Amino acid sequence: RILDGNAFNGTLDLGRSISSELSMVSFKDNDFSSVTVTSSYNGTLALAGNPVCDHLPNTAYCNVTQHAPSRAYTTSLVKCFSGACPPEQSMSPQSCGCAYPYQGVMYFRAPFFADVGNGTAFQELESKLWTKLELSPGSVALQDPFFNSDSYMQVQVKLFPSGGPYFNRTEVMRIGFDLSNQTFKPPKEFGPYYFIASPYPFPDRNVPASKSKGAIIGIAVGCGVLVIALVGAAVYALTQRRRAQKATEELG
């Protein structure tokens, strides 16, 4: 867990009760003056920036550069072609086709791991999402997880429809309810979360606009044809009038 910069002080006691699921515990930039760690703990403990490190400068706990940050996990699209999708669409990792995903951000408030490149954990989250939300296998994309200023793990999530480019309104309402009300439960190593969705671009939002555009183009073309016809008629009438005048003059 990431608990940096919280002004914790006194003695940090990581006794036998510490969970084996905690692969990393970070208490950097707090005010701990001493620490107790059980020998059975095999994870990473980060204490740089605490007074205790004045007495333990050469320990791994106090090493500022304990671990170089790994590259953030992103769902692979290696099997798909590299073409770009139109605006508001994204490439589905399941079908490799462009579609309008239901997307938003999941904020994990206290994950049990700190490695944003942990492919195993994020692939488990992908699988849990498409299974519990009744989506097609492989139709979930996760992008660039990172820890924000509140020490929450922030993950961009895209959920893709099957059988077409759009979700219908019923599907969007169902998925949105399950995520926004925490009916969906992520793998336990992610801990509690909340979800903020992006507005979904339903197709009927764009249809009237396209029809209006088509109607405007049709009206413009029709008006242009009418103007040309009127000009042609005027020219023809003027020509006939001149011919009639010339014939009258010749007869006179």
Structural domain includes residue 58:
yes
**Among the ranges given (20-29, 45-54, 132-141), the one the predictor scored with the smallest mean pLDDT:** 20-29
In the chain, the number of structural domains is 2
- Answer with the residue of higher pLDDT: 190 or 37: 190
Structural domain includes residue 120:
yes
CATH of the domain at 187: 3.30.70
- What global pTM score does this model have? 0.61
**Among the ranges given (84-93, 118-127, 177-186, 218-227), the one the predictor scored with the smallest mean pLDDT:** 218-227
Residue 45: the pLDDT is 81
Asked if 73 and 91 count as a contact pair (C-beta separation under 8 A), the reply is no
Whether residue 45 sits in one domain with residue 116: no
Whether residue 48 sits in one domain with residue 100: no
Among 186, 204, 222, residue at a domain's last position: 204
pLDDT tens readout for residues 35-61? 887 766 767 788 888 998 888 777 777
Residue 108: the pLDDT is 96
Cα distance between residue 246 and residue 155, in whole Å: 86
Write 60-66 long-range contacts (CB < 8 A, 24+): 61/35, 61/37
Residue 128: the pLDDT is 97
Domain that includes residue 116, residue range: 90-204
Structural domain includes residue 101:
yes
CA atoms lying within 13 Å on the CB side of residue 79: 9
**Left if phi > 0, otherwise alpha if psi is -120 to 50, otherwise beta: which for 223?**
alpha
Tokens found for residue 66: 């304990």
Whether residue 57 sits in one domain with residue 109: no
54-68, 136-150, 196-210: which has the highest mean pLDDT? Answer: 136-150
Whether residue 194 sits in one domain with residue 96: yes
Mean pLDDT over 169-194 rounds to 96
State whether residue 98 is helix, strand or coil: strand
Nearest to 22 by CA among 82, 111, 87, 138: 111
Whether residue 131 sits in one domain with residue 34: no
Whether residue 177 sits in one domain with residue 94: yes
Residue 210: the pLDDT is 44
Structural domain includes residue 75:
no
Whether residue 187 sits in one domain with residue 115: yes
Confidence tier at 230 by pLDDT (50, 70, 90): low
Among 62, 82, 98, residue at a domain's last position: 62
Structural domain includes residue 224:
no
Q: What is the DSSP string of 105-166?
A: EEEESS-S---TT-HHHHHHHHHHHHHHTT--TT-EEEEEEEE-TTS-EEEEEEE--SSSS-
Nearest to 178 by CA among 102, 121, 122: 102
Structural domain includes residue 71:
no
- Answer with the residue of higher pLDDT: 61 or 209: 61
Residue 131: the pLDDT is 96
Residue 195: the pLDDT is 97
Whether residue 136 sits in one domain with residue 184: yes
